[in-house]
Amino acid sequence: MDATSSSDIRPVALITGSGAPRIGNCVARTLAVAGYRLVLHAHRSRDAANATARELEAHGTAAAVVSCDLAEDGKLVAMVREAIDAFGRIDALVNCAAVWQTKSLEQVTGDDVRRHFEVNTLATFLCCQHVGLQMVKQDTGGAIVNLGDWAIARPYLNYAAYFPSKGAIPTLTRDLAVELASRNPRVRVNAVLPGPAMLPENLPAEERKSAIEATLVKREGSPQNVADAVLFLLRNDFVTGVCLPVDGGRSIYAP
């Protein structure tokens, strides 16, 4: 599909980490239904991203695919430029790409910590920076939503490299909200902090039950719950600098 048509006024969204069938892919499909043109980013899941793009295009949504390892600064900047060139603008950025590795504290290495910070923190910052400065140039501005994690408030064991990298997301979100709005008040930055919205398929039954019982709503969430929150934050133009838990009450409840 020709992505460069100037007559198409539908907004454009870039979603990082949207190839694999996880939260980012659900966000992409939700934004397609809401009328967005899409730029899907993937690293190892490019084939899945291409399949999603073909499926969405068959239903009338213009979609492009970009690919890179977000831990490589130069390739990230080139990816953002490619995403902007695809449609000439970006109205929404959703940072879903992330790495998380379970490992005991005794086994965590400096490389483990660096990798988590490079993808979860630095890449989120750089995407916000480069896409945000593009939004600053646009009369209509734009909106950014970062994905954090509710459990930075009460970390659980064996993710010592992961949680510090996600703990930076609320501060990063507030800081970029201030920086970008000072340049164009129509640019907003918010975050969603998911709870147990997509538990691993191989999670032992007892651990799954424990995670569900630890919520107030007594059920597992879904990627759609997160995607709906993302769409709300993209649409509500009087909300910025907010970190919204979507966790079934998990962050306020300690059973």
C-beta atoms surrounding 102 within 10 Å: 13
Tokens of 228: 């709906």
Q: Is 162 a catalytic residue?
A: yes
Residue tagged active-site, from 36, 159, 162, 253:
162
Spatial contact of 196 and 249, defined as CB atoms under 8 Å apart: no
Contact 116, 127 (CB under 8 A): no
**Whole-angstrom distance, CA of residue 115 vs CA of residue 110:** 9
Is the C-alpha dihedral spanning 41, 48, 69, 190 positive or negative? positive
- For residue 204 the two structure tokens come to 């032992």
DSSP E strands, the chain: 12-16, 37-42, 63-67, 92-95, 142-147, 187-194, 243-246
Partners of 152 in the beta sheet? none
- Distance between CA 131 and CA 90 in Å, rounded? 7
Catalytic residues: 162
